[in-house]
Amino acid sequence: MMTGISDLPYEILSNILDEAAKLNEADGASFTFGLSQPPMPYAKPPLQRYVRGMIPPDKLKWDTASSIRQVCSVWHEWALHYSLKQLYLRRWRGSEKWLELPKSRAQYQVYEMNVPRGAFAYQDPFKNLTRTAKFLADCPHAAVHVRRLWFDGFYTAETDALISSILRSCTNLRMVTLPWTVMRRLSPRDWEQLLGTKQAKPLYSLELQAIDIPEIQEQDAANQVDLKPLRFVDFSTLRRLKFIGDTSFMPVTDEDLRAIARTATNLEEFHITSLSSITINGVMAIIKAAQKTLRVIEHAPRSDDGFWHPHPGHSVEQEHICSILSHCPKLEDLSISVPSMCSELFANKNVRWKGDCQVRALQLCEHQRQPRSSTTTTSIPGKPNNPPMTPHDQLRALLHTARTLTTARATSISPETLRLELFHSDFIFEPQLQAVHGVFEYAALASGGAWPPERRDSGKGPYGSTGLYGKEEEESVFECVGEGEFLRGAGAGWVRVSG
C-alpha cells in the first residue's frame, strides 16, 4: 500500500522532482549583475548597477535542487545527480568590479544599487577548479554522479594536475572535454582510469580543445612536459573522438593520431575542426582503424578565410582515399578535406550517406588520367572509354556519378535525402541541382562577354551555404550557373579546372 510520494516508482518520482526543479528555476535567480547602461562620451548619466548576467547552468541546477536535497536520502541522491550530472569549469577572466552583493543568490532579485559602490578585487583564476577538485575528492559519493565534464581556459601544468585529480574522482564519466595539454601530461594509468576500459560503462566521448597560449607560458619548462603516453593507452572502448582548435604549442600531430589508431577500432564519430597541424595521413590512420564502425567523419581544417582551408597534405602510403571512404559500411555523415577526389568516391551505391555531405579537394585523382583499359567502369556520358581522361572529362564523370548516387539514395528501399557539396577549383558544385557556384567575372572578360550567357545570384560564398559573413567589400560575390554551361565554359578554357 502506497503511503507517500516516496513510495511511487522511481521513474515517476524522478519526473515529478524534475518538474519541481524546473519550477524552482523559474522562480529563482538566474542572473548575476551588470550595468544598466554603458557610459557615453562627454556625458555623466547616473549609472545604476543591477543584478543581471546569467548564472552558469551547473550552478543554477545546484540552487534549484537545494530544497529537494533536504527532504530525505532518496531525494538527496536524486538532487545530487540532477545538479552534478554535467559540470562546466571555466577559468576566471579577471578585471571585473565586484559589488557588495549578498552571498545568497536567492536575495539577488531584491538587490539594487543606486549609489555605485564596490572595488576591483583580485580573484584566483583557478579558484573554481581548485575548489571543485577538493569537493569531489572529499565527497566521493557526489563525484560518482558526474557524467559530463567540460574544462575551458586551463592549459598550464598546474591546472592539468588539478584536472587529473578531478578525473580520478569522477569514476562514472561518459563525456569529457579537455585541454589538449592534458593529452600529454596524463600518465598511462590515468588514461586507463579516464577511459574506463575495465568498467561496464566506459567513457563514450573524448574532446580535446586547443588554443594559442602566451609566449611566456610556452617558455615555462613546467609546461613543456610531454610524457608521450598515447602509445601505451587502449582506446578500443571509445566511441567518439573530437579535436577542435589550433595551436603552435605542442600541437596534435599525425604521430599522435597514429598512436591512437592502434587501438581505436570501435570509433563511431571522428571530428577534426579548425586544426591545421593534422594532415590527411593522420586522418586516414583513424578512418582505416575504425572503418567498419564509423558513422560520422568530420575533417574541416578551416582557416580564418573560410573557403581557403589549409592544404590537407599528401598520402604517404599512396592509397586511394576515395575507395576507402566509399567502403565504410556504416558511414552516414561525411565532411572531409582530401588532396584529390574522383568518381570512385561516389561509385558505391550501397553507402548509407544521408543529409548534407561536403567534400573539399584541391585536385582530381591522377590515376584516372592514366591510360585505361576497355573494362574501366567509370565512363563519361556520351563518350567512349578512350584513354586518357582530361581534367575536364574527370570532372564531368565525377559530377555524373555523384548525381547518380543522390538519385540512388532517394529511391532505395529506405529512401534518404542526400545533398552533396563538392568544393574544387574555387567553385562549389551541387550535383543534385546541376548547379555551380563561384566567381565568373574573369571568365566573362576572357570570353568577351559571351560566357556565361545566363547567371544568377548565389546564396553561397567562400564560407559555403552560410554566405559571405558581411565581407562583401573584400570578397567577390558568388554567382550561380548551370552545370552543363559550366562544363562548356571549362571545355572552352574560360574557367580553369585543376587537374
Least confident of 22-26, 132-136, 197-201, 210-214: 22-26
**Secondary structure letter of residue 259 according to DSSP:** H
Using DSSP's 3-state secondary structure scheme, residue 75 falls into helix
| Cβ contact 29:64 at 8 Å | no
Segment 400-407 mean pLDDT = 97
> For residue 455, what is its C-alpha cell?
547567371
Task: Tell me the per-residue pLDDT of 408-444, one tens digit each, with 9 for 90 and over.
Answer: 999 999 999 999 999 998 899 999 999 999 989 889 9
pLDDT at site 39: 52
> For residue 208, what is its C-alpha cell?
580535446
In this prediction the pTM is 0.84
What mean pLDDT, rounded, does the chain reach?
A: 83
pLDDT at site 29: 67
pLDDT at site 457: 86
Tell me the residue type at 78: W
d(CA 173, CA 160): 17
Task: Tell me the per-residue pLDDT of 337-366, one tens digit each, with 9 for 90 and over.
Answer: 999 999 999 999 999 999 999 999 989 998
Name every residue whose Cβ is closer than 8 Å to that of residue 406 and which is 6 or more positions away in sequence. 418, 419, 420, 431, 432
Task: Tell me the per-residue pLDDT of 112-131, one tens digit each, with 9 for 90 and over.
Answer: 444 444 444 556 788 889 99
d(CA 339, CA 344): 15
d(CA 85, CA 170): 11
Share of the chain above pLDDT 70, in %: 78
Nearest Cα residue to 358 out of 457, 464, 498, 267: 464
Name every residue whose Cβ is closer than 8 Å to that of residue 453 and which is 6 or more positions away in sequence. 485
| Cβ contact 37:45 at 8 Å | yes
Q: Which residue has the higher pLDDT, 224 or 319?
A: 224
d(CA 221, CA 240): 32
Least confident of 100-104, 260-264, 277-281, 323-327: 100-104
d(CA 244, CA 308): 18
Task: Tell me the per-residue pLDDT of 80-112, one tens digit each, with 9 for 90 and over.
Answer: 999 999 999 988 765 444 455 555 666 555 554
Segment 67-72 mean pLDDT = 89
371 — pLDDT class (breaks 50, 70, 90) = low
d(CA 327, CA 43): 68
d(CA 57, CA 67): 17
**Three-point CA angle 159, 163, 168, nearest 5°:** 150
Indicate the burial class of 93 (C-beta count within 10 angstroms; 0-12, 13-18, 19 or more).
exposed
> For residue 264, what is its C-alpha cell?
581505436
Q: 285-294 burial, b for 16+ CB within 10 Å, e for fewer?
A: bbbebbbebb
Tell me the residue type at 61: K
**Three-point CA angle 342, 346, 349, nearest 5°:** 155
pLDDT at site 312: 66
Task: Tell me the per-residue pLDDT of 446-491, one tens digit each, with 9 for 90 and over.
Answer: 889 889 998 888 888 766 665 554 444 455 678 999 999 999 999 8
Q: What is the dihedral of CA 134, 136, 142, 144, to 10 degrees?
A: -170
pLDDT at site 109: 53
> For residue 169, what is its C-alpha cell?
574522482
Segment 215-223 mean pLDDT = 92
